[in-house]
Amino acid sequence: MYMDKETQAYFKEVLIKRLDELYAEAERTVAGMTDAEETFPDPTDRATLESDRNFMLRIRDRERKLILKIREALQRIDDGSFGICESCGDEIGRERLEARPVTTLCIECKRKQEAGERARGA
Ligand SMILES: [Zn+2]
pLDDT in tens, 39-88: 444 555 555 445 677 777 778 888 889 999 999 999 999 999 999 999 99
User: Cα–chain-centroid distance for residue 87?
Assistant: 19
Average the pLDDT over 97-116 and give the result.
95
Rounded distance between C-alpha atoms, residue 111 and residue 32, angstroms: 39
CA 105 to ligand 1 center in whole angstroms:
5
What is the per-residue pLDDT for 2? 67
Q: How many CA atoms lie within 13 A of 7 on its CB side?
A: 13
pTM score, whole prediction = 0.75
Architecture of domain 1-82 in this structure: Up-down Bundle (1.20)
Domain spans, the chain: 1-82, 84-122
CA 111 to ligand 1 center in whole angstroms:
9
Average the pLDDT over 89-109 and give the result.
95
Burial class (CB in 10 A: 0-12, 13-18, 19+), 84: middle
State yes or no: 88 annotated in a binding site. yes
CA 8 to ligand 1 center in whole angstroms:
19
What is the per-residue pLDDT for 100? 95
CA 36 to ligand 1 center in whole angstroms:
46
